[in-house]
Amino acid sequence: MEGSLFSHNLSLNHLMLIYYYHFTDFAMQLNAINPIASHPLCNTDSRLRPDIRYLEEGDVTAASAQKNRLEEKQRGAELSRKGQNNDSWQPRYMTITINYMLYGIFVG
């Protein structure tokens, strides 16, 4: 149309989409880190997780090793909290309410 701009052009062959879980090239680029925009990303941004990066690159072995490393780190932190026998420990951002299916969120 006159005056319209294309935001994306399909560059993958439709026959190749079965190898990419039927994701279009545009959908696969949504999680890509733009070098210009990567500077202001928060350290906890999921795009910076090494296990996710390895999966996106197709390295399942390295992704599994990173996932296991993270899980062991989390288990160690939980054991250290339990080892301190600190009953006053509270989650930083959540609190259990009377209804155990609902959680309160600390805002600020």
Q: Which of 45-54, 64-73, 85-94, 98-107 has the lowest mean pLDDT?
A: 98-107
Tokens matching residue 43: 């350290």
* CA dist., res. 77 & res. 84, Å (int): 11
Task: Report yes or no on 2 lying in a domain.
Answer: no
What confidence tens digit (pLDDT) does each residue in 8-59 have?
555 556 666 666 666 777 777 777 777 766 567 777 787 788 888 888 788 8
- The whole-angstrom separation of Cα 87 and Cα 13 is 58
Q: Which helix (H) or strand (E) holds 105?
A: strand 103-105
Whether 73 is in a domain gets the answer yes
What average pLDDT does the chain have? Answer: 74
In 28-96, beta strands by DSSP E: 94-96
Q: Does residue 8 sit within a domain?
A: no
Classify residue 24: in a domain, yes or no: yes
Domain assignment present for 63: yes
Name the helix (H) or strand (E) containing 57: helix 50-57
Asked if residue 94 belongs to a domain, the reply is yes
Q: Is the pTM of this model over 0.85?
A: no
- Which residue bears the tokens 């939980």? 78
Residue 30 within a domain: yes
* 7 is a domain residue: no
pLDDT of 66? 95
Residue 30 domain boundaries: 14-105
pLDDT of residue 65: 96
Pairing of strands 103-105, 94-96: antiparallel
Q: How confident is the model at residue 68 (pLDDT cuts 50, 70, 90)?
A: very high
How many structural domains are present in the chain?
1
